[in-house]
Protein backbone atom coordinates (compact mmCIF):
# COMPACT_ATOMS: atom_id res chain seq x y z
CA UNK A 1 0.00 0.00 0.00
CA UNK A 2 1.50 3.35 -1.06
CA UNK A 3 -0.01 6.32 0.73
CA UNK A 4 -0.28 9.74 -0.90
CA UNK A 5 -0.96 13.35 0.02
CA UNK A 6 -4.66 12.69 -0.64
CA UNK A 7 -4.68 10.01 2.05
CA UNK A 8 -3.18 12.45 4.55
CA UNK A 9 -5.89 14.96 3.68
CA UNK A 10 -8.50 12.34 4.59
CA UNK A 11 -7.01 12.14 8.10
CA UNK A 12 -8.51 15.52 8.98
CA UNK A 13 -11.70 13.55 9.58
CA UNK A 14 -9.96 11.88 12.55
CA UNK A 15 -9.68 14.73 15.08
CA UNK A 16 -8.63 12.38 17.90
CA UNK A 17 -5.65 10.95 15.97
CA UNK A 18 -2.58 11.06 18.24
CA UNK A 19 -0.01 8.95 16.40
CA UNK A 20 0.87 8.47 12.75
CA UNK A 21 3.55 6.27 11.22
CA UNK A 22 4.07 6.55 7.47
CA UNK A 23 7.67 5.42 6.91
CA UNK A 24 8.59 4.62 3.34
CA UNK A 25 5.53 6.28 1.79
CA UNK A 26 7.59 7.75 -1.03
CA UNK A 27 4.70 9.61 -2.66
CA UNK A 28 4.07 11.84 0.36
CA UNK A 29 5.22 15.43 -0.14
CA UNK A 30 5.32 18.67 1.85
CA UNK A 31 1.73 19.31 0.79
CA UNK A 32 0.56 16.07 2.42
CA UNK A 33 2.43 16.80 5.64
CA UNK A 34 0.80 20.24 5.81
CA UNK A 35 -2.62 18.55 6.12
CA UNK A 36 -1.53 17.11 9.47
CA UNK A 37 -1.94 20.54 11.08
CA UNK A 38 -5.66 19.80 11.01
CA UNK A 39 -5.10 16.91 13.46
CA UNK A 40 -4.54 18.96 16.63
CA UNK A 41 -3.95 16.01 18.97
CA UNK A 42 -1.25 14.45 16.80
CA UNK A 43 1.79 14.15 19.04
CA UNK A 44 3.79 11.23 17.63
CA UNK A 45 4.94 11.27 14.03
CA UNK A 46 7.16 8.92 12.01
CA UNK A 47 8.20 10.37 8.65
CA UNK A 48 11.15 8.06 8.03
CA UNK A 49 12.35 7.38 4.50
CA UNK A 50 10.23 10.12 2.92
CA UNK A 51 12.56 11.41 0.22
CA UNK A 52 10.20 14.11 -1.06
CA UNK A 53 9.68 16.02 2.17
CA UNK A 54 11.82 19.07 2.82
CA UNK A 55 12.37 21.51 5.65
CA UNK A 56 9.08 23.11 4.56
CA UNK A 57 7.22 20.11 5.99
CA UNK A 58 8.59 20.57 9.47
CA UNK A 59 8.70 24.37 9.37
CA UNK A 60 5.01 24.41 8.53
CA UNK A 61 3.91 21.97 11.22
CA UNK A 62 2.11 23.73 14.05
CA UNK A 63 1.91 20.67 16.30
CA UNK A 64 3.36 20.17 19.77
CA UNK A 65 5.04 16.83 19.10
CA UNK A 66 6.02 14.39 21.82
CA UNK A 67 7.97 12.20 19.39
CA UNK A 68 9.37 12.78 15.90
CA UNK A 69 11.11 10.11 13.88
CA UNK A 70 12.50 11.20 10.53
CA UNK A 71 15.17 8.67 9.64
CA UNK A 72 16.82 8.97 6.25
CA UNK A 73 15.02 12.13 5.16
CA UNK A 74 17.77 13.64 3.00
CA UNK A 75 16.20 17.09 2.67
CA UNK A 76 15.63 17.73 6.39
CA UNK A 77 18.21 20.09 7.91
CA UNK A 78 19.11 21.74 11.21
CA UNK A 79 16.82 24.66 10.37
CA UNK A 80 13.71 22.45 10.46
CA UNK A 81 14.82 20.52 13.52
CA UNK A 82 15.40 23.72 15.48
CA UNK A 83 11.91 24.86 14.55
CA UNK A 84 10.34 21.61 15.75
CA UNK A 85 12.27 21.70 19.02
CA UNK A 86 11.31 25.32 19.71
CA UNK A 87 7.62 24.63 19.02
CA UNK A 88 7.34 21.19 20.64
CA UNK A 89 7.59 21.87 24.35
CA UNK A 90 6.81 18.24 25.20
CA UNK A 91 9.31 16.66 22.77
CA UNK A 92 11.04 13.71 24.43
CA UNK A 93 12.05 11.60 21.44
CA UNK A 94 13.82 12.82 18.30
CA UNK A 95 15.32 10.36 15.81
CA UNK A 96 16.93 11.86 12.72
CA UNK A 97 19.45 9.10 12.13
CA UNK A 98 20.91 8.88 8.64
CA UNK A 99 19.61 12.28 7.60
CA UNK A 100 22.42 13.41 5.30
CA UNK A 101 21.98 17.12 6.03
CA UNK A 102 22.01 16.69 9.81
CA UNK A 103 25.54 16.45 11.15
CA UNK A 104 26.98 16.07 14.62
CA UNK A 105 27.82 19.77 14.47
CA UNK A 106 24.10 20.57 14.52
CA UNK A 107 23.49 19.20 17.97
CA UNK A 108 25.25 21.78 20.14
CA UNK A 109 23.00 24.49 18.71
CA UNK A 110 19.94 22.26 18.95
CA UNK A 111 20.62 21.44 22.60
CA UNK A 112 20.39 25.14 23.42
CA UNK A 113 16.65 24.84 22.71
CA UNK A 114 16.07 21.85 24.98
pLDDT in tens, 55-102: 999 999 999 999 999 999 999 998 898 888 888 989 999 999 988 888
Beta-carbon contacts of 48 under 8 Å, excluding residues fewer than 6 positions away, are: 23, 24, 69, 70, 71, 72, 73, 95
Q: Give the helix/strand (H/E) hosting 110.
A: helix 106-111
- Give the predicted TM-score (pTM) of the model: 0.89
Amino acid sequence: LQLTDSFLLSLVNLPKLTSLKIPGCYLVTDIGISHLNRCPLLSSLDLSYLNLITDSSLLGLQLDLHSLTARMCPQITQLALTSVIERSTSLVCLDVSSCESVTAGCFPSLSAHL
